Amino acid sequence: DIVMTQSPDSLAVSLGERATINCKSSQSVYNSENYLAWYQQKPGQSPRLLIYWASTRQSGVPQRFSGSGSGTDFTLTISSLQAEDVAVYYCQQYYITPWTFGQGTKVEIK
């Protein structure tokens, strides 16, 4: 199985500041595309797709969310943290089954 490891487990960022979450896969998830997605889960809600193919923003997702990286190392960046961005963020590979998620990164307001 591909192991997805996120860092940090949690972070506190001031409003308007940048938040950066890292995700590392135990093997490459690249094959013409990077089969890597990012999801946001707010308390009591279902996960929401933010980014797919590592860097493509899902329709309706604010531009402050961006994804980057390739192969085994990926990053989700929130350029200017808003109060509504408080959530747990998960990376996920859909390259091979079983699909696997990172353990999640909790983002809070400092």
Partner 1 sequence: QGHLVQSGSELKKPGASVKVSCKTSGYVFSTYAIHWVRQAPGQGLEWMGWINTKTGNPTYAPGFSGRFVFSLDTSVTTAHLQISSLKADDTAVYYCARVDSPYHYYAMDVWGQGTTISVSS
Asked if 65 is part of the footprint of partner 1 (rule: CB under 8 A), the reply reads no
Q: Which of residues 20-39 bind partner 1 (CB under 8 A)?
A: 35, 37, 39
Nearer to partner 1, 69 or 102 (CB): 102
Asked if 77 is part of the footprint of partner 1 (rule: CB under 8 A), the reply reads no
# residues near partner 1 by CB under 8 A: 25
Asked if 72 is part of the footprint of partner 1 (rule: CB under 8 A), the reply reads no
47: closest CA among 10, 102, 4? 102
The region, left, alpha or beta by phi > 0 then psi within -120 to 50, assigned to residue 26 is alpha
Interstrand relation of 10-13 and 105-109 (parallel, antiparallel or unpaired) = parallel
